[in-house]
Amino acid sequence: MAEMTTDVLIIGTGPAGSSTAALLASYGIETMIVNQYRWLANTPRAHITNQRTMEVLRDLGPDVESEAYLHATEQDLMGENVFCESLAGEEIGRMKSWGTHPNSRAEHQLSSPSHMNDLPQTFMEPILFTTACKRGAQARMSTQYVSHVQDAEGVTTTLLDRLSGRKFEVRSKYLIGADGGNSLVAEHITTPIEGKMGVGGSMNIYFKADLSKYVAHRPSVLYWVMQPGADVGGIGMGLVRMIRPWNEWLIVWGYDINEPAPKVDEAFATNVARQLVGDPDLNIELISASVWTVNDAYATHMQKDRVFIMGDAAHRHPPSNGLGSNTSIQDGFNLAWKLAMVLKGQAGASLLDSYSAERAPIAKQIVTRANQSIAEFGPIFEALGMTGGSDVKQIKASMDARCDPGDAAVAQREALRKAIAFKNYEFDAHGVEMNQRYASNAIVTAGQPEPAFNKDKELHYHPTTWPGARLPHAWVFDGNTGEKVSTLDLCGKGAFTILTGIGGEAWRDAAQTLAQQVGIQLNVHIIGPRQTYVDHSGDWARICEIADDGCLLVRPDHHVAWRAPVISKDPKSDLFEVLQQVLGRN
C-alpha cells in the first residue's frame, strides 16, 4: 500500500513542473510536486521570456503576470545585440533583437497583450512554484524520484526522502516527468529519443561587477565577444549575458567536450571575465560556476499510458533562441487542462493522447531551430576570416582587413552586415515563438485547408483562426466600462469558450444547453455593438476569419478547436458532435 496518494505526481520543480503544478492547482486538481534538491534553480539559466509564455502567466491571473513583470528586465533594455572584440574593445556589429526593432515591435504589439521580457529562471521558478503551492499543490523538497510502475488504474512511484534516507511510495492517477535533460522518468518509460546528447561543452560563470560604463549606452541582454586566440575555451567566441542591468552577469564560454570539463575556480573565472570584458584590472564577485553540455535530442513521443514527459526531459537543446523554459511552460499549458478534464470525468482518456501528438512535433522543431542557430554563427566567423585555422596573427589581419579601402574590403563589410542581419533567425524569430499550430484528435478542422504562411514563418507570426492555431489577439472593449480586453482574456482559465457575433445567438443557446448536458464549463461571448464586448476598432472583425454569425470554439489553452465560418443549420448538434470528438467521448 502506498503511503500517500494524489491525482497527479510531478517530478521536478523547474519551469515545466512548476507551471504544470500551478495550472493543475488552479483547475482544482490534487497535485504533488517533488524536487531532489532543497530549493529551486540556483542559477539564472533561462531568461528570454516570450509573449506566448507571458500569455500563460496572464492566464494564471493578474497577480502572477504582474509579479513576473515586476522582476523582469523590460523589453526596451534587451535589444542592442552587440558583437565586439571585448566589451571595452572595438565593436564589430550590432543588431536590434527580441522585438525591439520598430517593425518587429509593431508585430509584437499587434499579436499579443503580453510583452517579451528578460526574467531569469531564479525569478521565474519561485513565481510559478509559489503559485502552485498557494493554490493547493503539495510540494516536497529533497525528495528524489527513484522508479515507478503503472497499471490500468494508476501509477505507484518510489521516492527517496534525502533527509532521512527513507524510501516511500506515492500512488497517483498520473505521473509527469518534468525532471530535466537527464530525465530518469523518460529513461524508465523508454521513450524514443532522436538525436545526440553532449555535442558540445559549455561553462557558466555567474558573477557581480558593475559594467555600466561598457554597456549602458547600448543596452542588451547579450554581448558576443569574438576573440581570436583566446587562451581559454576554444570556440573563439564568448558570451557576456546580462542578468541584472548592469551589475550582475553570466559568462557562457565553451570547452572541448572531448577533454575533461575544466575546474572553474575564482582565478580561472576572473581571468575569463577580464579577457571578455577587456579590462585587465577588473575585479569580479564570483557567485557560482558550473559546466553543462550542449544537446541535440528530442522525444518523438511524450507519453506512455499514464506517464508523461515534458520540458527538457522531452526536448534537449542549446539556449539559442531562448526556447527551453518557454517551451517547457507551454508544454504544461497544453497538458494541464486535459488532465484536469479527464480527472473530473468531463473528457475521455483518449484526450490525453493529443498531448504527444501536438507537442512532440514542437519538440523536434525547437531542437532543430536551436541547433541550427548555433551553426548560423558560421557566416559571421567567415566574414571576419576566423575560420581558416588558429594562427592568431592571421585572424587578426583578416578582421582588420574589413577596415581597408578597396573592393575586397567592401565585399567583406557587406558579408559581415548580411551575416549579422541573418541572425534574426535566432534573436528576433517571432514566428518560431508564436506560430505553433496543432493537429490531433482534439482539433476538428472539418476539411478547412491550412492557410499558407504569407511571410517567413520563422520570423513572422501569422494570425489565423484555422483550427489548431492559437486564437489571434485583438483588443475589444467592455461594453459597460469601456476597458480594453484581449480576445485571449475572454478565453482560457481552464474552460472552453465560444466566440461569436450578432446573429450567432443560436450558438450561445446551444452552448448553454450543452454545457449542462456534457457537464463542462462553456463560456460564450458575443462580440458586437451593444454586446458585452464591442469591437470598436474593427480589429477583431479583420482577423477572426468568420462571419458575424460564425463561431469559434476555443480550448482552455487558447488554441482554436473548431470553427464554423457562418451559422449552421443545427448549431446544437454540430457543437455537440465537435465537443464529443475533441473531448474524446466518442
Residues that bind ligand FDA (CB under 6 A): 11-17, 34-37, 45-48, 121, 144-145, 178-180, 184, 204, 252, 292, 311-313, 319, 322-326, 328
Nearer to ligand FDA among residue 15 and residue 556 (C-beta) = 15
Nearer to ligand FDA among residue 24 and residue 578 (C-beta) = 24
Residues 252 and 239 sit within 8 Å (Cβ to Cβ): yes
Nearer to ligand FDA among residue 180 and residue 468 (C-beta) = 180
Nearer to ligand FDA among residue 11 and residue 273 (C-beta) = 11
d(Cα 463, Cα 543) in Å, to the nearest integer? 7
CB of 215 to ligand FDA, least distance (A): 18
CB of 19 to ligand FDA, least distance (A): 8
Nearer to ligand FDA among residue 251 and residue 420 (C-beta) = 251
d(Cα 532, Cα 496) in Å, to the nearest integer? 18
Nearer to ligand FDA among residue 128 and residue 510 (C-beta) = 128
3-class SS letters over 66-81: HHHHHHCEEHHHCEEE
d(Cα 564, Cα 578) in Å, to the nearest integer? 11
d(Cα 522, Cα 524) in Å, to the nearest integer? 7
What are the cell numbers at 275? 579577457
CB of 131 to ligand FDA, least distance (A): 15
Nearer to ligand FDA among residue 187 and residue 539 (C-beta) = 187
CB of 271 to ligand FDA, least distance (A): 20
Residues 492 and 59 sit within 8 Å (Cβ to Cβ): yes
Nearer to ligand FDA among residue 68 and residue 518 (C-beta) = 68
Task: Look up residue 232 and give its amino acid.
Answer: V
What are the cell numbers at 203? 561553462
CB of 28 to ligand FDA, least distance (A): 23
3-class SS letters over 452-512: CCCCCCCCCCCCCCCECEECCCCEEEECCCCCEEECCCCCECCEEEEEEECCCHHHHHHHH
CB of 14 to ligand FDA, least distance (A): 2
What are the cell numbers at 151? 497499471
CB of 254 to ligand FDA, least distance (A): 12
CB of 429 to ligand FDA, least distance (A): 13
Q: DSSP letter at 165?
A: T
d(Cα 283, Cα 271) in Å, to the nearest integer? 10
The sign one gets for the Cα dihedral 63, 68, 73, 76 is negative
Contacts of 177 (CB under 8 A, 6+ apart): 11, 12, 145, 183, 184, 185, 186, 189, 307, 308, 309, 310, 313
CB of 125 to ligand FDA, least distance (A): 8
Instruction: Please report how the helices 121-134 and 62-71 are oriented relative to each other, as an axis angle in degrees rounded to 10.
Output: 160
d(Cα 21, Cα 179) in Å, to the nearest integer? 13
CB of 129 to ligand FDA, least distance (A): 9
Nearer to ligand FDA among residue 292 and residue 381 (C-beta) = 292
d(Cα 66, Cα 245) in Å, to the nearest integer? 20
Nearer to ligand FDA among residue 21 and residue 579 (C-beta) = 21
Nearer to ligand FDA among residue 14 and residue 584 (C-beta) = 14
Phi, psi of 116 (to 5 degrees): -65, 150
CB of 138 to ligand FDA, least distance (A): 15
Q: Nearest Cα to 169, choosing from 1, 382, 36, 374?
A: 1
